[in-house]
Amino acid sequence: DVKVTQSSRYLVKRTGEKVFLECVQDMDHENMFWYRQDPGLGLRLIYFSYDVKMKEKGDIPEGYSVSREKKERFSLILESASTNQTSMYLCASIPYPDRARGYTFGSGTRLTVV
Amino acid sequence: GENVEQHPSTLSVQEGDSAVIKCTYSDSASNYFPWYKQELGKRPQLIIDIRSNVGEKKDQRIAVTLNKTAKHFSLHITETQPEDSAVYFCAARGDYKLSFGAGTTVTVRA
């Protein structure tokens, strides 16, 4: 089974802090994604990466950045955390070129910004 | 970009009855449509998917239908059981990215 591991299950950060959310997958997948999940809004794509050092903006990239220095690791960075970034963050991955398959999700990081 | 709408937002059914969730999408280039189930406190899990060259797919009590002309697809759960209670998400994809619906909270009453 593919494993997508998110380093923290719960995080509490203060407004203005720089926050790093880490995601690691163990199946040599090329494509990795960061979503945030909010009640009534579903899952919204923040950023994705289709290769090392490559990144693309999703639907809601404002206030976020990403880093992919190694194939297995995709980091989401909140440059200056704000209360409206309190949410559940989900990482996912799929292989290439098998793009026509569903994602494997990590277990999620629930971030609270106070 | 792709816009996926999902209805209803909540659905309560009697155990043994059927449940139907409907989704529409906007991008005619989308060619892959998965459905996810998310139980409380857990990650979304793929339960069934369908590709654009197929009109219907069934897996035991779960079935999905796709109407490409109308740009809508549906999830059907028959003989519902308490363990079917969860949030269900539909999604659509044309290239790399999945666009998700807002989710349907399904409650199966015993």
What does the pLDDT average to over B24-30? 93
What does the pLDDT average to over B21-36? 94
B47 touches chain A (CB under 8 A): no
Cβ contact B31–A108 (<8 Å)? no
pLDDT for the residue A1: 66
In chain A, residues with a C-beta closer than 8 Å to the C-beta of B49 are: 101-102
Cβ contact A107–B42 (<8 Å)? yes
- In angstroms, the CA A71 to CA A87 distance is 26
- Chain A and chain B share a number of CB contacts under 8 A equal to 55
In chain B, residues with a C-beta closer than 8 Å to the C-beta of A40 are: 9, 102-103
**Does the pLDDT of residue B96 top 90, yes or no?**
no
Cβ contact B46–A103 (<8 Å)? yes
Nearest CB neighbour to A90, from listed B1, B43, B49: B43
- Among the residue ranges A12-16, B96-100, B105-109, the one predicted with the least confidence is B96-100
Strand partners, B23: B6, B73
Give, in order, the Cα–Cα distances in Å from A11 to each of A16, B9, B79: 15, 28, 40
A114 touches chain B (CB under 8 A): no
- In angstroms, the CA A92 to CA A48 distance is 9
In chain A, residues with a C-beta closer than 8 Å to the C-beta of B26 are: none
What does the pLDDT average to over A40-64? 93
Q: What is the DSSP string of B45-103?
A: EEEEEEETT-SEEEETTEEEEEETTTTEEEEEE-S--GGG-EEEEEEEESSS-EEE---
